[in-house]
Structure 1
């Protein structure tokens, strides 16, 4: 995960420098099929990812990634790359916005994306306590045991009460397919960093509107993508509580880091440069 975080961080610096061609994501069947691509101009390398999404199945995401460059081609499981790169970008954002002494993490969601969310935060902060919450107590407990075996020096607990989990935490990771906000802004600590990666359709929501209205920083992977695909961001902008200019792009923030205060948010819908970063790292290995 540390290697992935570094690769994705470098890719967003390249994106901010104008070194990627990123065609708009193609969306078919109301978001059940996605095609993403990215071309890295300096190296002449490219990646294409085809994703099939079925939220009622396990795994929910089935994908294939093809990376090409210098006469070589790499074909890899897109599901693994998607979870890894989505975790990695959360690591990059958390490193920018979470308090340096953050030690408590609350994870909301127990699906395929969830473990790499935890791995990414642990790669950039010295986390001592992690609370895993989900609709199923059994799944939350199973994930907590799995991660506890992987990180024996971290205390993992499991439950289904989101408000209790987030009441005394420093960092929150949301990785669900919810269509309604997972919590109210009143349930949050005064100082907390929130990552949200689950909602990728205009009809989906993980974050309350009031959080986006009052957060000191609202960070996105790419403004254009967030305004087209993030239900929370689209709702906040349409309702007038947030303007497009309030959205800070990750690549720009890496050059000019914001000074986080109070509550901060990172909303990711994913861009092709992330897939390129992981596939290029694989090709080099």
Structure 2
């Protein structure tokens, strides 16, 4: 059995490839050829940490995976990454375990790629300003994906701990990207500038006031993945023209913003326009005009891991 490291992944797999592969995954999902039960979450109440267990099987590809990912928010103080993960890839003809894959970076990439697909169908074609609220690990994937899809020339960053945003700004500038990178003093300031707004925090309160949003903004909300978390408020839901999700089943179990709003009678589930797969397959249409405010809510689904892991493995074998 192979062990595939993050270095291996970086050497053979790009964000653009991952976006294309996830589109294939969405098509297979729409054909009922993916199987991914809602994940099991173990909470570690003493530290606010979680460990997630995510199995999935893709019928046509004859692969299955189990991902175990831990999210320990206090790790940076010990010099350890917040996100730790591993994927076991198995072929389903004979049940052979093919590879153990380092999953932290691949999780960031496939989450970003999902937002990239949403951005392709829902963001304005001329979107040039990207704002990111929350500058942790997942923000890297959000940045890479949106830059792959739209002609962004200015980035605004905000983080509750400003040092984190400043470090991310330096990282972006050192990567060779040629546009402007600005650290905003407030989340509202960053949100008010956005043509594409990426939310990648573990907040329990809405990060911004909806009245600052520009007409035509598209929002990728990927940070909240538990019922007690919330990155946007009911005021944002009231301003939306379209709301799309990765899977309805997943968000009904885990999307705190939507669950809390529904439980308090402020919003109803029939206001979801559909799942992202319906845009990819052309069953439904996305953005209708320049001024619509759109939002993609993702809590993650395991078949995204399976298709990304399988594609990485195949590329490693070919090389």
TM-score scaled by length of structure 1: 0.95
Confirm or deny that 1:268 pairs with 2:298.
yes
Distance 1:159 1:174 in 2: 14
**Does 2:20 correspond to 1:10?**
no
* Rounded Cα–Cα distance in structure 2 between residues aligned with 1:260 and 1:169: 19
**Paired residue for 1:63, among 85, 94, 97?**
85
Do structure 1's residue 51 and structure 2's residue 69 form an aligned pair?
Answer: yes
Q: Which residue is 1:137 aligned to?
A: 162
1:166-187 deviation per Cα after TM superposition (whole angstroms, max 9, x unaligned): 2122010011110000011112
Matches within 5 A, 1:195-234: 195-234=220-259
Which whole-Å CA distance do the structure 2 matches of 1:164 and 1:43 have between them?
45
Match of 2:287 in 1: 259
1:10-89 equivalence runs, <5 A: 10-29=24-43, 32-58=50-76, 59-69=81-91, 71=96, 73-89=98-114
CA RMSD of aligned residues (A): 1.5
Q: Which structure 1 segments of 5+ residues have no match?
A: none
Give the equivalent residue in structure 1 for 2:129: 104
Shift of 1:72: 5.4
CA distance in 1, matches of 2:119, 2:129: 13
Cα offset, 1:56, TM superposition = 2.0
* 3-state secondary structure, aligned to 1:81: helix
SS in 2 for 1:32: strand
Alpha-carbon offset, residue 151 of structure 1: 4.0
Give the Å deviation of 1:260.
4.2
Aligned residue number for residue 157 of structure 1: 182
User: What are the superposed Cα offsets for residues 137-186 of structure 1, whole Å, 9 maximum, x if unpaired?
Assistant: 22211111111222422221123311111212201001111000001111
Q: Distance in 1 between matches of 2:239 and 2:180?
A: 31
Structure 2 unmatched ranges of 5 or more: 1-14
Between Structure 1 and Structure 2, whose CA radius of gyration is higher? 2
SS at match of 2:215: coil
Matched positions, count: 285
Alpha carbons 1:101, 1:125 under 8 Å: kept: yes
**Under a length normalisation based on structure 2, what TM-score does the superposition of the two structures give?**
0.85
